[in-house]
Amino acid sequence: MENIIKLNKDGSLSVPSSPIIPYIPGDGTGPDIWNATRIVLDKAVETAYRNEKKIIFKKILAGEEAYKETGEWLPEETLEQIKKYKVAIKGPLTTPVGHGMRSLNVAIRQELDLFACIRPAKYITGVPSPCNEPEKINMVIFRENSEDLYLGIEWEAGTEDAKEAVTFVNSKILKNLDDKTTGIGIKPISEKNTKRLIRKSIQFAVDNNRKSVTIMHKGNIMKFTEGAFLKWGYEVGENEFKDMIITEQELWDQFDGKVPYGKVVLKDRIADNMFQQVLLRPSEYDVITAPNLNGDYISDLLAAMVGGLGLAPGANIGESCAVFEATHGTAPKYAGLDKVNPGSVILSGAMMLEHLGWHEASDVIHAALQKAILNKQVTYDLARQIPGSIELKCSEFARKICSFMD
């Protein structure tokens, strides 16, 4: 029991010096990336704490490997292990498009109620970026993880269920949808799930001295789902963070556009506008909080702005468990080639270390990754954009990062 992370009553963690942390290597490029990540995490913990701390990694199964060994894509035992050990890290898992099973990644998030998907996008010096002033990019996305279109409530065109749903819609909303050729989906967004996400994002901004929280929504079109997300978001700000929150109007009227210390501006942007805002005026955005689908889209944009999916970490956090994973998928065309950038899972691992309170080890990773990039010794994705760079394999890049920890 002494190796098990415990959850305290106030939601904080009691972390032993050698915690057991389950990992899922993942499909496609997952195993290459995970092996590289593990080397870096072990070395960072050793560098920061010598022999005082060490992670005991424990393999758990999901995806193709699980299916081969157990006949199940996501064994119940895997979910039980994550619940037991509280913190886990995973590589990407394959999801077929347009047919077949639902996403295992979504299933893990929903089964464990990991309601907040947190994705930082911070520029690392030396990384090629399509933006003019990438050093101004330092945002954190809070993506709602448990509902919206990701609940997968949809019916295929031509089926009896789709006809029934279309008939209902036609009768209620007087639209003339064709019940034979129309596929139909449902987008649930609830007050409870919205409020807990927005609460977490504002609390994060307050705790980390962030300047603003922007609610990204499409409430002008989807009034009772995304519009409600916006309304409930402001309610959380006004009712629960009254002394810390200021409006954009107050920012300009009372503070001349400068956010006072200890205050957070709560504002909102319609989703389509949000995309051009972060590209053209990145310094005006800090924490972004969004429903599931918007959050998914903006994550990849911000990842591209700071160097692509090879450097895009993430965490899925609930009340009692947390699973750390990259923003990217399995990149199947590179599977087994020891080629892709392990940076996203390495940085997700650094987020995991911070979640454990092991900030020193996380700092070691950030510093060593920065040095490897400035040294221009990088994987293919960065090498193809950095003139004069040396292309390294996935595993070589991990070892290069480790070499900068000595």
Residue ranges in contact with ligand NAP by CB under 6 A: 92-95, 105, 308-310, 325, 328-332, 340-341, 344, 381
Q: Is 296 a catalytic site residue? A: yes
For residues 281 and 274, what is the distance between their CA atoms, to the nearest angstrom? 10
As measured in angstroms, the least distance from the Cβ of 218 to ligand NAP is 22
Q: Which one, of 70, 72, 71, 93, lies nearest residue 23 by Cα?
A: 93
Structure tokens at 251: 């920012």
- CB closer to ligand NAP out of 48 and 298: 298
CB–CB of 44/365 below 8 Å?
Answer: yes
Of 161, 178, 253, 272, the catalytic one is 272
H-helix segments, 71-173: 76-85, 104-111, 160-173
For residues 183 and 164, what is the distance between their CA atoms, to the nearest angstrom? 11
As measured in angstroms, the least distance from the Cβ of 341 to ligand NAP is 3
As measured in angstroms, the least distance from the Cβ of 90 to ligand NAP is 7
Structure tokens at 379: 């994987």
- CB closer to ligand NAP out of 268 and 296: 296
Query: How many CB atoms neighbour CB 47 within 10 A?
Result: 17
Residue nearest ligand NAP (C-beta atom) = 329
Helix 394-403 / helix 359-374 crossing angle, nearest 10 deg? 110
- CB closer to ligand NAP out of 42 and 300: 300
Of 32, 286, 296, 338, the catalytic one is 296
- CB closer to ligand NAP out of 251 and 326: 326
As measured in angstroms, the least distance from the Cβ of 7 to ligand NAP is 24
Phi first, then psi: give them for residue 143, nearest 5 degrees: -100, 130
- CB closer to ligand NAP out of 289 and 316: 316
Strand pairing of 315-317 and 116-122? antiparallel
Q: Provide, for the chain, the percentages of residues in helix, strand and coil under a 3-state DSSP scheme, each rounded to the nearest 5.
A: 45, 15, 40
As measured in angstroms, the least distance from the Cβ of 114 to ligand NAP is 12
Q: Is 218 a catalytic site residue? A: yes
CB–CB of 48/361 below 8 Å?
Answer: yes
Of 86, 218, 267, 400, the catalytic one is 218
Phi first, then psi: give them for residue 165, nearest 5 degrees: -65, -40
As measured in angstroms, the least distance from the Cβ of 369 to ligand NAP is 14
- CB closer to ligand NAP out of 75 and 227: 75
Question: Which are the catalytic amino acids?
Answer: 150, 218, 272, 296
